[in-house]
Amino acid sequence: MAIKFQYNKTSQQALKKQLAIRERALPTLKNKESALRVEVKKAKKKAEELDEKVNEKRKELDDMMRLWGEFDHDLVRIKDVQLASKKIAGVLTPVLENIEFEVSDYNMFEAPGWFPQGISILEQIANIAIEREVFIRKMELLDFARKKTTQKVNLYEKVQIPGYQDAIRKIKRFLEDEENLSKAAQKIVKNRQQKAEVQS
């Protein structure tokens, strides 16, 4: 990215301001990036733990598979999933607050005795699976923000800050050269005037 500038003091001051802004922002961006990286790892770990829990619960169900054939699958429904949001390092992430289940009425005397336990197991699996999805979404949002922050850190660190420093250095050299030329020209004019006065 080429930084546009003019060879004058006004442009030099403007570049110095931009450079100062980026140099002040860089440590904050680096801290944000590392905080996001930690949070992404936490969310990923939690999602993996919940994945394992879902698999364990499914294995429990496999043991009772013959019985599930007689279970009425319309008995349990998810009525509502309540989410809140929480800011982590400036990123809004979802937080699972509550899951409401709707259990249809069934005849307790005609249904097998394990139905209440079956309903409880289904609710637990749904709870874990939904929580897992929330953590996966949280991880995705945090990872996206981390990538954007990393891009900005790299842009500042590797492109803009060196670019501004280089532009300021070029302006400084140009202005110094201009000043030296001006002084040299004044000296030459002064010497000519002195020679002219001596000859007259």
What is residue 62's three-state secondary structure? helix
Residues 175-191, mean pLDDT to the nearest whole number? 88
Domain ranges of the chain: 9-185
pLDDT band at 17 (very low <50, low <70, confident <90, very high): very high
Residue 171 φ then ψ, to 5°? -60, -45
Mean of pLDDT over the chain: 87
pLDDT tens per residue, range 134-172: 999 999 999 999 999 999 999 999 999 999 999 999 999
- This prediction has a pTM of 0.74
Residue 31 reports pLDDT greater than 90: yes
H/E stretch holding 96: strand 91-103
**Angle, in degrees to the nearest 10, between helices 115-154 and 9-63:** 160
CATH architecture of the domain covering 9-185: Orthogonal Bundle (1.10)
Residues 11-34, mean pLDDT to the nearest whole number? 93
Distance CA 41, CA 4 (A): 40
